[in-house]
Amino acid sequence: MDLLKTKIVHLSRCRSITRSLLRNILQLDPSLKITYQSSANQLSSWLQIPLKKAEYFYSDLHNVALQKQVIRDMQLYQTVTIVDEYYPPMLNTIKDGPIVLYAIGDIDILKKLPSLSVIGTRKPTAQAQRKMEIILPLIQQGWIIVSGMARGIDSFAHQMTLHHNGKTIAVLGGGFHHIYPREHLSLFHEITQKGLVLTEYPPDQPPIRHQFPERNRIISGLTMGTLVIEAMKRSGTLITVDQALDQGREVFAVPGNPWVQQTKGCHQMIQDGAKLVQETNDIIIEFEGMLLEN
C-alpha cells in the first residue's frame, strides 16, 4: 500500500483538517514527514491554526486505532487521492476539489470522456421518462452519465444508462455503509458491478444534510456539462447548476409545461442563459471541438 497515499487518507480524517488546510500542508510538506514529526505547538505555529485545533490534529495524527481503520478501509475499497494518476483530470480544474475519493466499481471510467451529469427533481412528472430519451443516443455513443443516485431524475439516469449497457457514475452524499435512500440499495449494487460509485466520505460516515449540496460540486465537476431534466424553482438541483456555472461547465435544461411546478426551475435557468435542449444534438453541438480532440 502506497505510504504517501495512506498518509493523505489518514490526514483527511483528522479533526481540525479542512480540504484547504490539507492542500496547504501538501504544498508545504509534500512527503508529509514534517507533519508527522511535529509537536502540537509546532503544528499550530507552522499551519497558523489555534493551539486547541492543533492539539486535536496532533492527537489524531498519532491515533493508532484511526491509522488501523484507514488501512482497513483502503484494503476494502479503492481510494483515489489528488496525488494519484487516477484522480479525475476534470476535478483538477475546479475549486475545492475532493482530496480523497472512495470508489467501488470500474475505476477506469474516471479517465473517460465525453461525460454529462444528468440531474433533476426527486418528484418528476409523468413526462420525465420521455424527456430522458434525450440522453439515449449519448449513452449509445459511449458518453459517461453522472448523477447522485437520489430519487427521481437521478435514479432514472442511472437506470437508463445501465439498461442500455452504458457506463454511469453515482456520487454519494455519505459513506458506503450508509446507502441513501435505502430503496436504492439494489441500484447501488448494480452500479458497483457495471459502473462506478464514488464518495469523498469515509465508509462509516452517515449522510448529513449539508453533505448533499457539498457532493454536488463533484457531480458537476466530473463532467463537461450538466443537463437538468426537470427542476422546481427552489430546489437542490439549482445548487448543482450554480456549481457547474462556477466551474465553467455548460448547463442545459429541458423545457416543459409552464404550468407545472417541476418545469419552472428549467424555465428560469433558460431565462438566465442555460441552453434550451429539445433534442440530443442540442447537447452534442456544444462540445464538437472537444469531441474531435478526443
Q: Tell me the average pLDDT across 214-235.
A: 91
69 & 195 share domain: no
| Same domain as 58, residue 99 | no
Yes or no: say if 237 and 123 are a contact pair by the CB < 8 Å rule: no
45 with 95, same domain: the answer is no
Q: Which three cell numbers stand for residue 229?
A: 431534466
Q: Which of 76, 105, 135 is the last residue of a domain?
A: 76
| 241 contacts 216 by C-beta, under 8 angstroms | no
- Residue 84 covered by a domain: no
Same domain, 42 and 131: no
Separation in Å, CA 205 to CA 43, 73, 81, 144, 218: 27, 12, 18, 27, 17
Do 10 and 123 belong to one domain?
no
Taking residue 29's Cβ as centre, other Cβ atoms within 10 Å add up to 16
The most confident of the ranges 46-50, 190-194, 205-209, 232-236 is 190-194
pLDDT in tens, 243-253: 888 888 999 99
- Over residues 80-132, the pLDDT tens digits come to 999 998 899 899 888 889 999 999 999 999 989 899 999 999 999 999 999 99
Please tell me whether residues 228 and 205 are part of one structural domain: yes
- Domain boundary residue among 19, 50, 76? 76
Residue 83 located in a structural domain: no
- For residues 160 and 266, membership in a common domain is answered with yes
Backbone angles phi, psi at 160, to 5 degrees: -65, -40
Does the residue 175 lie in any domain?
yes
Which of 62-76, 181-195, 250-264 is least confident? 250-264
pLDDT band at 260 (very low <50, low <70, confident <90, very high): confident
**What domain count does the chain have?**
2
Q: Residue 137: is the preceding peptide bond cis (ω within 30°)?
A: no
Pair 69, 93 in one domain: no
Does 82 map to a domain?
no
Residues 69, 210, single domain; the answer is: no
In a domain, 81, yes or no: no
The domain in which residue 265 lies consists of 89-293
Cα–Cα distance for residue pair 284/135, rounded to 1 Å: 10
Q: Which of 76, 101, 123 is the last residue of a domain?
A: 76
Specify the pTM: 0.93
Contacts of 133 (CB under 8 A, 6+ apart): none
Which pLDDT belongs to residue 246?
84
Task: Tell me: do 245 and 135 sit in the same domain.
Answer: yes
pLDDT > 60? residue 294: no
49 in the same domain as 18: yes
Domain-embedded: residue 257: yes
Among 4-13, 39-48, 224-233, 284-293, name the one with the lowest average pLDDT: 284-293
| Residue 236's CATH number | 3.40.50.450
What is the distance between the alpha carbons of residues 47 and 22, in angstroms, rounded to a whole number? 10
Return the bridge partners of 210, or none: none
Q: Which of 216, 275, 268, 271 is nearest to 246 (CA)?
A: 216
Cell digits for 188?
Answer: 447501488
**125 and 28 within one domain:** no
